[in-house]
Structure 1
Amino acid sequence: MRRRLLVLVAATTTLVLVAFLVPLALLVNDVAADRAVQAATVEAQALTSVVATAEGDPLALTVAQVDATSRFDVTVFLPDGERLGAEADRSPLVELAERGSSASAEADGGREIVFAVDGPDSTSVGVIRTFVPDAELRQGVARAWLALAGLGVALLLVGLVVADRLGRRLVRGATDLAAVSHRLGRGELDARADPSAPGELGVTATALNGLAGRITDLLREERETIADLSHRVRTPLTTLRMDAEALPAGEQSERIVASVDAVDRAVTDVIQQARRRGTGPEGVTADAADVVRERAAFWAVLAEDTDRELTVDVAPGPLPVALARGDLEACVDALLGNVFAHTPNGTGFTVRLEPRDRGGARLVVADEGQGLPSGQTTGVLRRGVSGSGSSGLGLDIVRRTAEQSGGGVRLDSPPSGGLTVVVDLGTGPEA
């Protein structure tokens, strides 16, 4: 932007200077030529009375003195053919003056000026010729042109300096806006732009500051709402835990207590995630092999109760991925929960975890159910979209979790039936 502004100002200023200085330079040349011609004319006319009245040696002496002291060549042609003063040929212009016509014309190396001198009886008694060389016609022109060129360069430099200062200010304002936008994108919600930036940049900075303030308010309200919700949920969870612990000891009691603990951990993870929102879970990793193995064991009990054949194939760990353990557990639970929610009892499924070549892990959950209708393998990944009338949040949680780690999700519903969900879990945003 700054360079373009400089180029624009340079081009505009150059055009203006050319339109102004070129006619002025031509005018200076014409003025210098006119001044020299005028001076030569005055000197020649001063001899008119002498030529008209004097004769012989006095006339020759006077013409010689004038020619010696003049900047121009002065010659007097007499009717009898005699020539006085500077050496000069009898040109056609001199012959024209002998017939009574004074004139001037361009000649080789300068300008020739002739005057016809009439005697008392109105007869021609001589011709005064003066020659103005090119050096006299252009005297001072080069110096004037050099001054004009220097003035033009100085004006151009002044224009470029002013444009550079203005462009630097504009670029600085735009750069500051971009920097503040990036900081806000990284979660630094206290970042603010300078509203004193010039013109529309200041208006944009004010709007950006208002947007940042509004985002801060919304996040604060969200955290307060989640805190209130967690407080309300913990009370019935505590009651439920007490009731579960009061049950007779056994496998069912242990399962209920474990489920209550899982719900309590999920609530805690939601609160922690809300508190760190905007700062990003930098440096957080989890062992995908350990998490998948643990969650598969948890769901294996329900699979046995619903007559589902579960095949688990987890590569030896550790397989670190750029996710908090709670987020990865929620992702795995969402995938396995969808199998139980959208396939009939007795439907088998497979859970497979393997390392990726670029780091991270690949989680594959394949079931033998009815699959998805044709054309819906992409749309169901959007939040709130479901192919079976559910809330549509499960696969959206999986997608957001995978993208947070630097990976992605793809669905495959083969013609033979079933659904295969492939989740790539990366080691960071650049994975």
Structure 2
Amino acid sequence: MRSVVTRALLVAAGLVTAVFLATAGFLVFSRASAEVAAADQRDAAVVAAVLAVSADADDVRGTIARTAAGAEGRLSVVLADGTRLGAGGGSPVASAGGAVVSVVPGSARFPVEVFPILGIALAALGAAVLLGHRPFTPVINALRVLASSGGKRVRLSGPQELEALAASINSASERTSQLLAKEREMIADVSHRLRTPLAALRLDADAVGSGPVADRIRSAVSTLGHDVDRIIQALQPAEGELPSTCDVASVVEARMAFWSAHAANQGRVCEIDVGEPAWVPLSPDALGAVVDALLENVFRHTPAAAPVGVSVVRHAGWVTLVVEDGGTGVADPSSALHRGSSGGGSTGLGLDIARAAAEATGGTIHLERGRLGGARVRLRFGEANSHHSPASPRAWRLWRGHP
């Protein structure tokens, strides 16, 4: 802000200084030109006075030589008999005894008075910039307070407009805090309410007996309980906790151990290609939630025999996670990435969870037609501790229909 004020003051004071210098320069040079013209008139008058008393050519030549205009070769005399004395032509300025005195106008020299005027103008320009900052100091200080508030309540004194802005920011911050607190209370309440039916599910799962189906039920119940505990713990984040990273390949392999078994039970073909380790600035739980959300969409909205493919590719500072299926595709891809929007009877939050995770790393989400014939969700995560060019736009919806 201070630099903007400085530039504005420089422009305004500079224009005033330029006008002042132009006016002063014109006046100074006009005076110098008038002085030169007056000096020429005096030299011509001196020669005319000599001609009035004597027409001797030698006397006139001597007089011409003693004048400044004559010494410069700008003054000449034409006697009555037509004899020209002196150099130059010029315009007649005087006459005496039938002789005519002519002078070529001289040019004004650079006046030394310009230098003091220039110094005064520059000093005034600097003073204008320095003094001009004083009225803006309260505004700049108030803006600095606003910029450094960091979401805290703002207290400042300054122009009425900025005080009103601070009050609006405080009001919006308080409203946001209330909404966040209410949301956290709601999430905590729902999570705690889930504990009771989860406890009943655990008892029922233990009573099922043994076998692959029973093991999968117990594993699903255990995973659900873990997720509920994780949600409750996330409501109270640890202070000063360092940002976590995870290996996408490891997380995908771990989660696909569960989903592969589910696919085998349905008779699905499940293709997995995770490649080399690829680290992204997300926690393992956050990335696992993304994988689960995408695979849950596949298993819920595609036929049981539809194939599914999951792959991870690391390239040029980006880590790409692709989940595709052999289903019928997305009915309305233009709104599929909108939070809460779903055309298949679900909550519509699966793709939004994936989008938020990708954008948290500076990446993008792409919804396309896949090689298996159905939908393909392609997530680009910014690789941890790696330079990569910004990805824009963040959400793409590419859908060209069946080939």
TM-score (norm 1): 0.62
Structure 2: distance between partners of 1:87 and 1:316: 108
Amino acid at match of 1:328: L
**Alpha-carbon distance, 1:331 to partner:** 0.9
Structure 2: how far apart are the matches of 1:209 and 1:318?
A: 48
Residue 322 of structure 1 deviates from its aligned partner by: 1.3
Q: How does 1:294-309 map to 2 (within 5 A)?
A: 294-300=254-260, 302-303=262-263, 307-309=266-268
Shift of 1:338: 0.9
After the TM superposition, which of the residue ranges 29-38 and 83-92 deviates more from structure 2? 83-92
State the partner residue of 2:287.
328
Q: Which residue of 2 aligns with 1:364?
A: 322
Aligned residue among 182, 186, 190 for 1:229? 186
User: Is structure 2 residue 316 aligned with structure 1 residue 341?
Assistant: no
Deviation at 1:421, TM superposition (A): 1.8
Aligned with 1:425 (options 381, 395, 399): 381
* Structure 1 Cα separation of the partners of residues 310 and 326 of structure 2: 15
Whole-angstrom distance in 2 between the partners of 1:78 and 1:157: 57
What is residue 159 of structure 1 aligned with on the other side?
125
Unpaired runs of 5+ in structure 1? 45-71, 96-105, 116-126
Would you say 1:284 and 2:244 are equivalent positions?
yes
Residue 189, structure 1, aligned to residue 193, structure 2: no
Q: Is the 2:325–2:372 Cα contact (8 Å) retained in structure 1? A: no
Q: Spell out the pairing of 1:242-257 with structure 2 (5 A cutoff).
A: 242-247=199-204, 248-249=206-207, 250=209, 251=214, 254-255=218-219, 257=221
1:391-402 pair list within 5 angstroms? 391-402=347-358
**Distance in 2 (alpha carbons) for counterparts of 1:255 and 1:413:** 33
Question: Structure 1 residues 87, 133: CA separation in 2 closer, same or farther (over 3 Å shift)?
Answer: same
1:265 paired residue among 209, 220, 229: 229
Q: Give SS of 1:328's match.
A: helix
Question: 1:181-215 deviations in whole A, cap 9, x for unaligned?
Answer: 6x78xxx4349798759xxxx95x65764565355
What amino acid is the match of 1:337?
E
Q: Is the 8 A contact 2:44 2:93 kept in 1?
A: no
Q: Matched residues, percent identical?
A: 22
Q: 1:79 to 1:239 in 2, by over 3 A?
A: closer
Distance 2:154 2:311 in 1: 44
Asked if the contact 1:352/1:365 (under 8 Å) is kept, the reply is: yes
Q: 1:198-209, aligned counterparts within 5 Å?
A: 203=161, 209=166
Q: In structure 1, how many angstroms separate the alpha carbons of the residues matched to 2:157 and 2:305? A: 62
Shift of the alpha carbon at 1:347?
Answer: 3.1
* Partner SS for 1:402: helix
* Cα deviation code 1:17-36 (max 9, x no counterpart): 22343144313542575488
2:18 to 14, 18, 25: 14
Between Structure 1 and Structure 2, how many residues are aligned?
A: 361
User: 2 CA distance for matches of 1:217 and 1:25?
Assistant: 67
Q: Deviations over 1:338-374 (max 9, x none)?
A: 1122223x2333242334123564322221211124x
Instruction: Give the C-alpha shift of residue 323 in structure 1.
Output: 0.7
Alignment of 1:216 with 2:173, yes or no, is yes
Distance in 2 (CA, whole Å) between partners of 1:156 and 1:111 is: 44
Q: Secondary structure at the match of 1:366?
A: strand
Letter in 1 for 2:292: D
Q: Distance in 1 between matches of 2:345 and 2:9?
A: 58
Q: Which amino acid aligns with 1:293?
A: E
Post-superposition offset of 1:149? 4.4
Would the aligned equivalents of 1:6 and 1:163 in 2 still touch at CA under 8 Å?
Answer: yes
CA apart distance, 1:402: 1.3
Query: Are 2:278 and 1:319 equivalent residues in the alignment?
Result: yes
CA RMSD, Structure 1 to Structure 2 (Å): 5.2
Measured against aligned partners, the alpha-carbon deviations of 1:132-176 in whole angstroms (never above 9, x if no partner) come to 9999x99xx758x21144314431452255347758998998899
Query: C-alpha distance in 2, partners of 1:355/1:82?
Result: 108
State whether residues 28 and 113 of structure 2, in contact with CA within 8 Å, keep that contact through their aligned partners in structure 1: no
Match of 2:397 in 1: none
Is 1:293 aligned to 2:253, yes or no? yes
For residues 211 and 382 of structure 1, do their structure 2 counterparts lie closer, same or farther at Cα, with a shift above 3 Å needed?
A: farther
Displacement of 1:294 in angstroms is 2.7
**CA 1:26–1:111: 2 relative to 1, 3 Å:** farther
2:92 touches 2:101 (CA, 8 Å); kept in 1?
A: yes
Aligned to 2:69: none
Instruction: Map 1:87-236 onto structure 2 (within 5 A).
Output: 87=62, 91=77, 145-159=111-125, 162-163=128-129, 166=132, 188-190=150-152, 196=158, 203=161, 209=166, 212-214=169-171, 216-236=173-193
Q: Which moved more, 1:284-293 or 1:82-91?
A: 82-91
Task: Give the AA of the match of 1:227.
Answer: R
Contact residue 74 and residue 85 of structure 1 kept, 8 A: no
Residue range with higher mean Cα deviation, 19-28 or 79-88: 79-88
